[in-house]
């Protein structure tokens, strides 16, 4: 079971408008197709440590508007005047708590777009400058560290369309996070957590083929974490083996009874 974060927004039902937890279907669908059970987490103050005991991994999803609250919209830098959109403090607090608990529990963590900023802030990094906008280039060539998990998956570089890059570059990087992807202007585009089996934050949404590779690695880490958890049920395939073993143990007793008659 993989927890994936969502956001609160107003949604219309008929002639009524209600608050709802919403999430783009792309990543839950990809997880479901890979054989997982995605658990959508509303941005509430969860008992994070207890929740992580029931999960095998955590995905920090991007915002639907492809922007972090209070920062520049996808179409370009923030307007020169007017008040900034207030940060979603409830969601920030909930997701920071969740990602800290997931890392402490050893769960694999994948942080996309807005999730990259949450991962950095949760580990002690800082917000980016308020006047830092997005690149207006149609695409960016990103350089990847060959020693990183992302470099091993995607190669030494990846071209990312502007529409798949969300939010501004990071602020000061948290201690314990290592930069593993950079743009031409040296802005950090992805990080990995030192000493953790799988904790990756990336600013861009990978394309379909790269997403498959990334989710395969993420799910392999989740499967390894789940298999060693106390109280986790054995796979159904093992039931037949257990039945055969029981019959094998019963067979010698039958022979012994026959020999004694």
Q: What are phi and psi of 121, to 5 degrees?
A: -65, -40
Residue 173 CB partners (closer than 8 Å, separation 6+): 120, 125, 179, 188, 191
What is residue 181's three-state secondary structure? strand
pLDDT digits (tens, 9 = 90+) for 104-122: 999 999 999 999 999 999 9
Model pTM score: 0.77
pLDDT digits (tens, 9 = 90+) for 129-143: 765 555 556 788 999
Strands 188-193 and 157-161: unpaired
What is residue 41's three-state secondary structure? strand
248/181 Cα distance (integer angstroms): 56
Give the torsion sign (CA, 204, 207, 209, 212).
Answer: positive
What is residue 81's three-state secondary structure? coil
213/144 Cα distance (integer angstroms): 15
Calculated CA dihedral for residues 214, 122, 168, 150, nearest 10 degrees: -20
Paired residues of 109 in beta bridges:
58, 199
Task: Give the mean pLDDT of 254-260.
Answer: 40
Residue 79 CB partners (closer than 8 Å, separation 6+): none
159 pLDDT more than 70: yes
Task: Give the mean pLDDT of 165-180.
Answer: 88
Q: Quote the distance between the C-alpha of residue 198 and its chain's center.
A: 10
97 or 79, greater pLDDT = 97
Strands 109-112 and 16-22: unpaired
**What's the pLDDT score for residue 226?**
59
């Amino acid at each position: 079971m993989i927890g994936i974060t969502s956001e609160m927004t107003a949604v219309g039902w008929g002639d009524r408008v209600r608050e709802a937890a919403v999430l783009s279907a792309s990543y839950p669908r990809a997880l479901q197709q890979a054989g997982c059970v995605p658990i959508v987490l509303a941005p509430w103050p969860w008992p994070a440590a207890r929740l992580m005991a029931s999960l095998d991994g955590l995905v920090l999803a991007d915002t639907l508007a492809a922007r972090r609250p209070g920062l520049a919209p996808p179409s370009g830098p923030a307007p020169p005047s007017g008040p900034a959109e207030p940060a979603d403090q409830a969601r920030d607090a909930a997701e920071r708590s969740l990602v800290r608990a997931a890392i402490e529990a050893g769960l694999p963590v994948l942080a996309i777009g807005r999730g990259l900023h949450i991962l950095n802030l949760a580990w002690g990094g800082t917000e980016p400058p308020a006047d830092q906008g997005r690149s207006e280039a149609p695409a960016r060539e990103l350089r990847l560290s060959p020693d990183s998990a992302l470099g091993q998956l995607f190669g030494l570089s990846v071209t990312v369309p502007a529409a798949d890059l969300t939010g501004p570059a990071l602020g000061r990087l948290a201690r314990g996070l290592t930069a593993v992807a950079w743009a031409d202007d040296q802005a950090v585009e992805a990080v990995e957590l030192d000493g953790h089996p799988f904790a990756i934050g990336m600013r861009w949404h990978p394309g379909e083929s790269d997403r498959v590779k990334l989710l395969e690695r993420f799910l392999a880490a989740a499967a390894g974490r789940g298999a060693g958890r106390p109280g986790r049920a054995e796979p159904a395939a093992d039931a037949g083996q257990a039945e055969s073993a029981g019959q094998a143990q019963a067979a010698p007793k039958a022979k012994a009874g026959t020999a004694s008659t």
